[in-house]
Amino acid sequence: MSLSSEQWAFLKDVAALILWADARGYAITGGELQRTIEQQNIYVKSGASRTMNSMHLKKLAIDLAVFRDGVLLEGREAIAPLGKFWESLNTKNRWGGSWRGLVESGKSKFVDTPHFERYIP
């Protein structure tokens, strides 16, 4: 699948996530989608990211702010329903609060709950 085809599929899944969340009383605002190599380097140096292979560099990741009743939701438990739905949409989709089970299994300690991505090597 070409990069533009992956980006299109990713954005359709983002749309599905937003509609799913809206139907359940969540409100979502968009954050960072595209990222430059320079910005990624800053995030890696600061510890905000752990890789120079971020899906943001390919426009295959987005950071979302999730609200309920006007309150910004933070932490894994509060956003987990959205993360589970996101990962159910496609086997390539990963939520930063779980990384497809790596956090729960103890294989990763890096948690990035606002992060939703489509991973392609």
- Domains detected in the chain: 3-118 (3.30.1380.10)
Token reading at 48: 């905000």
Predicted pLDDT at 61: 98
Q: What is the mean pLDDT of residues 43-59?
A: 93
Q: Does the pLDDT of residue 50 top 90, yes or no?
A: no
pLDDT in tens, 29-38: 999 999 999 9
Reported as a single tens digit per residue, the pLDDT across 79-99 is 999 999 999 999 999 999 999
Classify residue 37 as exposed, middle or buried by CB count within 10 Å of its CB (0-12, 13-18, 19+). exposed
pTM of the model: 0.92
